[in-house]
Amino acid sequence: MATEAPPPRSGTETDHVPASPTTEQFVEVQEGAEFGELRRTYRSFAFPLTLAFIAWYLLYVLLSNYAGDFMGTKLFGNVNVALVLGLGQFATTFLIAWLYSRHAANRLDPKAEAIKHRMEADA
């Protein structure tokens, strides 16, 4: 349920609450070059890694379905290729999350903060 009421204030009445930008200001920033650069920076990281991970996952699924003998090959003890590749899926997931966290902190967040501060100052 949507409401037009402002959010409750915390603290004292002397706290400075930045004014909210208007819809027109949001549209103007969204159409600007700086926001476009932020979007390109995000996409240049997220899309290739997403496609690579989907390809890696599909390779694992296809090998599991159509190369049973290969996947059942024992590497040492009771550890086979399927187990190693399956655990590799988990490792890859955590690696991508860690890489994205670093990428966002170093490249995305500073640009987003600059846009946010400029919008709050103009509001």
Which element (helix H / strand E) includes 114?
Answer: helix 109-122
CA-to-CA separations, 84 to 56, 62, 75, 90, 93, in angstroms, rounded: 13, 15, 9, 10, 14
**Global model pTM greater than 0.75:** no
User: Rounded mean pLDDT of the chain?
Assistant: 87
Quote the CA–CA distance of 46 and 35 in Å, as a whole number: 16
Q: What is the dihedral of CA 101, 45, 43, 88, to 10 degrees?
A: -80
Tens of pLDDT, residues 102-119: 999 999 999 999 988 888
Q: CA-to-CA distance for 69 and 57, rounded, in angstroms?
A: 19
